[in-house]
Amino acid sequence: MAQIDDKTILELFREEKTRNTALGHLITKYQQRLYWHIRKIVISHDDSDDVLQNTFIKIWKGLGNFKEESQLYTWIYRIATNEALTLLRQKEKKNTTSIHPIEYELSKNLESDNYFSGDEIQLKLQQAILTLPEKQRIVFNMRYYDETPYEEMSQILETSVGALKASYHIAAKKIEEILVGA
């Protein structure tokens, strides 16, 4: 299936007879990028697949109400981010008997993940990222790995560009301190 632009996807979605085609194009265009965005938040491959599926269900259900006040890409990423954070919060609630925070559990999952193909340095970087507060972790991943412009991040995360720049700077400093001290 050839990749088409977001405007065409939205036009196809508006027509009842081409709605499924629109969804196919949407999935083809965004599935891999969303998967890796989600994966950086929830770490686990299985959890990422579940969150991705929930994301596409929410997109499908909400696309008819999409007002086009932002880019489709931004709206989709906001849904994916919120779904990933919802999963982490649910895991944290279930994890009330553990003395370890959810970040510790994510770090352990990373170490035992068969799908993780990074070397020792990459593992240390990922573990350092997991020590960051949730928002800093997301901002760092979006900026460092995806090179997401601050303006786009601002729309996705619904916060100011200045706050995002500050979060990224603080996160980078914390990671540097962890890696230099390691």
Average pLDDT per run of 10 along the chain, which is 182 residues long? 86 94 95 94 91 96 90 94 92 62 52 55 81 91 92 93 96 91 68
What is the distance of C-alpha 104 from the center of its chain? 19
Domain spans, the chain = 1-99, 118-182
The pLDDT, as a whole number, for residue 99 is: 45
Q: Are 161 and 151 in contact (CB under 8 A)?
A: yes
Burial class (CB in 10 A: 0-12, 13-18, 19+), 137: buried
Domain 118-182 coded CATH 1.10.10.10: yes
d(CA 40, CA 45): 10
> Quick one: pLDDT at residue 18?
95
Q: Which DSSP helix (H) or strand (E) runs through 50? A: helix 45-62
pLDDT at position 106 is 55
Are the C-beta atoms of 78 and 148 separated by less than 8 Å?
A: no
pLDDT at 100: 46
pLDDT given for residue 115 in this prediction: 54
Q: What is the pLDDT of residue 179?
A: 86
Top-tier CATH class for 1-99: mainly alpha
Residue 122's pLDDT is 75
HSE (CB half, 13 Å, CA atoms) of 136? 16
